[in-house]
Amino acid sequence: MNTISTLTFSAGIVLPLFVLIGLGYFLSRINLFNDNFLRIANKACFRVFLPTMLFYNISQADFSSTFDFRLIAFSLIVCIIIFVLLYLIVPRCVADEDKQGVIIQGIFRNNFLLFGIPVCQNIYGLEGAIIASVVAAFTVPLNNIMAVICLSKFNSKHQYTPKKILLEIITNPLVIGGLLGILFASTGIKLPALIEKPISQISALATPFALIVLGGGFKITKAATDIRYLVSTTFLRLVVYPAVTLPVAVYLGFKGMAYAALIALFAAPISVSSYTMSQHFDVDYDLAGELVVFSTIFSIFTIFFIIFISKTYGLI
């Protein structure tokens, strides 16, 4: 993959997402969307569309031939370590409690299903996509569980006891969708064709609809007041996170398809579902949406740079 094709590839993944966000913003500005519609649509994304997408995409992973215990273990350990560090550090740096959980989530939670799997597929074809899907099967549910923890803990409007946080985890639609996906993928259970087809159609609809809803709620004036949080969080997500974790992966001997999966995991922009979950927990969901938009735009350049360097040194 040469320089031009790498940049074109990164832009080809990101720009369609940005177009959908822009469409939602435009429809909101011409009053085709109102606040009530966006609130209901966001609930539908959180409770139906995104969980169905998680279930369907993860359930398609082939554990029998592509399960790499070392890769899965490293991915999960890094995600947990980063989350714990953020959980301890961010509240000391950010005064607003409703922003604390959103920023923590923004740094550790990535758009792996939408962004990471196409990255691996473009580099290594179907086999690369399968490897990435197996990684997603374990890291996506974990990230959703950690998101519930931080958004429950750092919340000025609602008090969450440990019992209530546990209840939020086990009843969270995104967690349920991810865990059911792992169950189906690991056991080889297949859905009847009559059921699988509508589920696949809902899955295909989920991300475009969520991005349009996200764009509909985007407010430029609010983004201007949050600029320091947007710049710092996006920088930590797209630059610092991969700069810290990927050299460790290289030191441990990861390369080829496994390393490509780690690039996708550690360098992808912020997950669109972070916006829907922030709205569910009634924290600063405007900031969460702005972070998705900012990180998606700038990931064109950071992903290009990481892939270019990795290719130069023969890591992929």
pLDDT digits (tens, 9 = 90+) for 51-67: 898 888 888 877 776 67
Collect all residues with Cβ–Cβ distance below 8 Å to 131 and sequence separation of at least 6.
66, 68, 71, 120, 124, 257, 258, 260, 261
At residue 3, the pLDDT reads: 64
What pTM, to 2 d.p., does this model score? 0.83
**226-262 pLDDT tens trace:** 899 999 999 999 999 999 999 999 999 998 889 989 9
Which residue has better confidence, 221 or 152? Answer: 152
Q: In whole angstroms, give the CA distance from residue 148 to residue 64.
A: 30
Look-up of token digits 């829907």: 276
Q: Is the dihedral of CA 223, 42, 49, 58 positive or negative?
A: positive
At residue 142, the pLDDT reads: 92
Q: In whole angstroms, give the CA distance from residue 195 to residue 71.
A: 33
Q: Which amino acid is at 7?
A: L
Q: What is the signed CA dihedral for 274, 172, 56, 199, rounded to 10 degrees?
A: -110
> Is the separation of the CB atoms in 213 and 36 below 8 Å?
no
Q: In whole angstroms, give the CA distance from residue 256 to residue 272.
A: 28
At residue 206, the pLDDT reads: 85
The pair phi, psi for residue 314, each rounded to 5°, is: 70, 25
DSSP 129-146: HHHHHHHHHHHHHHHHHH
> Is the separation of the CB atoms in 107 and 266 below 8 Å?
no
Which residue has better confidence, 303 or 113? Answer: 303
* Percent of the residues in the chain that have a pLDDT greater than 90, as a whole number: 35
DSSP state of 110: B
Token pair for 165: 């946080």
- Reference 15, options 303, 243, 225, 226; nearest CA is 303
Token pair for 130: 């399968």
Least confident piece of the model among 70-74, 122-126, 300-304: 122-126
Which residue has better confidence, 99 or 301? Answer: 99
Which residue has better confidence, 98 or 218? Answer: 98
- Reference 119, options 291, 269, 314; nearest CA is 269
**88-129 pLDDT tens trace:** 999 999 999 999 999 999 999 988 877 777 777 777 876 777
At residue 13, the pLDDT reads: 65
Q: Which domains does the chain have, with CATH numbers?
A: 3-312 (1.20.1530.20)
Q: In whole angstroms, give the CA distance from residue 75 to residue 268.
A: 14
**179-213 pLDDT tens trace:** 898 899 888 888 888 899 999 999 888 888 888 98
Q: Is the dihedral of CA 145, 230, 115, 78 positive or negative?
A: negative
At residue 102, the pLDDT reads: 95
Query: How many CB atoms lie under 10 A from the CB of residue 176?
Result: 17
The pair phi, psi for residue 110, each rounded to 5°, is: -120, 165
3-state secondary structure of 115: helix
